[in-house]
Amino acid sequence: MPVDAEKEITKLWRAMHSAQNEIGKTYYRWRQVAVEFAGEGVKPLDVALRAAEVFGRDIGKSILPRMNWLKGEQGFMMILGKTLAGLWINDGGSATLEKGESEGEILIKCSRDPWPSWAKEFGVPMEEVALSRERMYQAILEDVSVFMNIPLKIEMQKAIARGQGETVMRLYKAQ
């Protein structure tokens, strides 16, 4: 029986988008449960930032095997930047890299991010979305910095969740 490649690709594409959508919504379902269990005195933002930290540390450990200095410092920074941009892409977003103004500086630009839409469905403030993403990326860099013996920093300069049209994160080597 012949295979209709276009039909199969479309089927896989739809399945991937469904999985991405379910992953984002599942995060916010778990967030809601965690906030409810934490009790009245706990701020939802504190719960979200702690979750971002846990996610980030786990992701940081998982990317360590792909990190190396074979292409020098700039090559390392590009590999790391591509890995971080890939997190958005895996979630269904659109992200690219640009070299920054100084040596060893990379700008990660995300022009489409599904997280604000999912957060909106669950009544989560957009500022929490931006702060959580930034905290997760900071936590990713903690183990990478130690393992590679290079002080790395990342800061959010713009955020879709703040209504700024795109998210821009500056990845750089701290002095």
Q: What are phi and psi of 10, to 5 degrees?
A: -60, -40
Q: Strand, coil or helix: what is 167?
A: strand
**CA gap 47, 151 in Å, rounded:** 27
Q: Does residue 67 contact residue 148 with C-beta atoms inside 8 Å? A: yes
What is the CA 76 to chain-centroid distance, rounded? 18
Average pLDDT of the segment spanning 118-137: 96
161 pLDDT band, cuts 50/70/90, is very high
> Across the chain, how many H-helices and E-strands are there?
5, 4
Q: What's the topology of domain 5-173?
A: Muramoyl-pentapeptide Carboxypeptidase; domain 2 (3.30.1380)
Domain ranges for the chain:
5-173
Q: Strand, coil or helix: what is 155?
A: strand
Q: Does residue 106 contact residue 78 with C-beta atoms inside 8 Å? A: yes
Query: How much of the chain, in percent, has pLDDT values that exceed 90?
Result: 72
pLDDT tens-digit map of 70-103:
888 888 999 999 999 999 999 999 999 999 888 8
For the entire predicted model, the pTM comes to 0.89
Average pLDDT of the segment spanning 10-38: 90
